[in-house]
Structure 1
Amino acid sequence: MKIALGSDHGGYNLKEAIKKYLEEKGIEYEDFGTNSTESVDYPEFGMKVAEAVVSGEYQRGIVCCGTGIGISISANKVPGIRCAVVSDTFSAQMSKEHNNANVLALGERVIGQGLALKIVEVWLNTEFAGGRHERRVNLIGDIEKKYAK
């Protein structure tokens, strides 16, 4: 599995902790920025990660900002992305198992590092259940196609 990572300044420290976690687990990743806590605009980094995942080169993406909200909204604007903002392990599991989320968004100012890393672990180790959920995920794709220009 290859992971695309990105954050703004508000999620930079959490992204760095996730990088260390991925390295310890031997999981390949690429960091799409930012590279410091200097103020930047989160939409740029949400888009970069989302485009990397949609390209097929990366199987999943993880994005971080202060709350996880802004960067997830940005990522979700890229057709084919299902980015879930998650603050607990149950939601992490369900976002992948039922919704086939291909990008995970975390808020550095919302959850502690320990919980965030547990969320990442659960999300990365959960597979999409398919079945009845496949139809629903396909319906999400149909909505996306309806509004694509």
Structure 2
Amino acid sequence: MAGGVSRLITAEVVLEAHRTGRSLARDSSTRITDEARDLAARLGVAIGSPAPELPGETPVRGGDTRVQVVIGSDHGGYELKSALKIVLTKAGYTLKDVGCQGAAAVDYPDFAREVASCVARGDAARGVMIDTIGVASAMVCNRVAGCRAAACESMTSALSSRRHNNANILTLGASLHTVEQAAAMLLAWLGEAYEGGRHQRRVDKIMALDSRTRPR
């Protein structure tokens, strides 16, 4: 159950949300203390956005065929992916699941490439790929032109990947997080804006290294 939009989220607000089983909504004017972020990650309290428009991206409008989030996994990440799909749907995000569709062994490059290709083509605003650790899928996604995938193990790294690096794909390791931890990280990542400014020239240098052709 989600509460109203909080203008300032402190550790006390997070504790109360945990006690009552609520998630915390936020908008562009909401401030969150570092202590609150860390506590929310530990307790599995989701800090999301009341309107799932992705900062810095064109929001999905009526009649727009673009999905907001494309999600994929290999067999090691299938169970966590299934749980996160429920979380994202309840939060109001439009999803595209590119597989896999069960626990039978598959090869992560096939599904990581599908996630990355959807993002690179503009079919999705953001991508999420889940395997056992998260690193391998990030390696695949970053081979696709136009993708900036971040393998994140903490709330701090997830938020930094958005603020400073304009990451458009998040890769997660199913063996590293509970559902609650992964959900909190993912919702925070989706709701975090890219700061631009001094970071833009660095992102430009990253993208200048990429001479490959975007998928068609």
Decide: shared fold, TM above 0.5: yes
Query: With structure 1 as the length reference, what TM-score do the two structures score?
Result: 0.96
Q: In structure 2, what is the Cα distance between the partners aligned to 1:42 and 1:30?
A: 17
Aligned to 1:60: 126
Contact 1:33/1:45 (8 A) holds in 2: yes
Aligned to 1:80: 146
**Any idea what SS the aligned residue of 1:79 has?**
coil
Cα deviation for residue 140 of structure 1 reads: 0.1
Aligned to 2:78: 12
Cα deviation for residue 114 of structure 1 reads: 1.1
Q: In structure 2, what is the Cα distance between the partners aligned to 1:14 and 1:82?
A: 22
Aligned to 1:142: 208
Structure-to-structure mapping, 1:1-149, within 5 angstroms: 1=59, 2-145=68-211, 148=212
Q: In structure 2, what is the Cα distance between the partners aligned to 1:56 and 1:144?
A: 17
Q: How many residues align?
A: 147
Superimposed CA distance per residue, residues 78-133 of structure 1 (whole angstroms, 9 cap, x where no aligned partner):
01111001111111110011000000000001122111111001101101100011
The amino acid of 1:88's aligned partner reads S
Runs of 4+ with deviation above 2 angstroms: none
The answer for unaligned runs of 5 or more in structure 1 is none
The amino acid of 1:50's aligned partner reads A
Choose between structure 1 and 2: higher helix proportion.
Answer: 1
> Could you say what the CA RMSD is over the residues aligned between the two structures, in angstroms?
1.0
**Any idea what SS the aligned residue of 1:59 has?**
strand
Q: In structure 2, what is the Cα distance between the partners aligned to 1:38 and 1:109?
A: 17
Cα deviation for residue 70 of structure 1 reads: 1.1
Cα deviation for residue 144 of structure 1 reads: 1.5
Query: With structure 2 as the length reference, what TM-score do the two structures score?
Result: 0.66
- Which protein shows a greater Rg? 2
Q: In structure 1, what is the Cα distance between the partners aligned to 2:195 and 2:80?
A: 29
Bigger relative CO (Cα 8 Å, ≥ 6 apart):
1
Superimposed CA distance per residue, residues 22-80 of structure 1 (whole angstroms, 9 cap, x where no aligned partner):
11111001000000010000000000000000111200000000001111111111011
Contact 1:84/1:103 (8 A) holds in 2: yes
Q: In structure 2, what is the Cα distance between the partners aligned to 1:116 and 1:55?
A: 26
Q: In structure 2, what is the Cα distance between the partners aligned to 1:24 and 1:34?
A: 21
Contact 1:99/1:137 (8 A) holds in 2: yes
The answer for unaligned runs of 5 or more in structure 2 is 1-58, 60-67
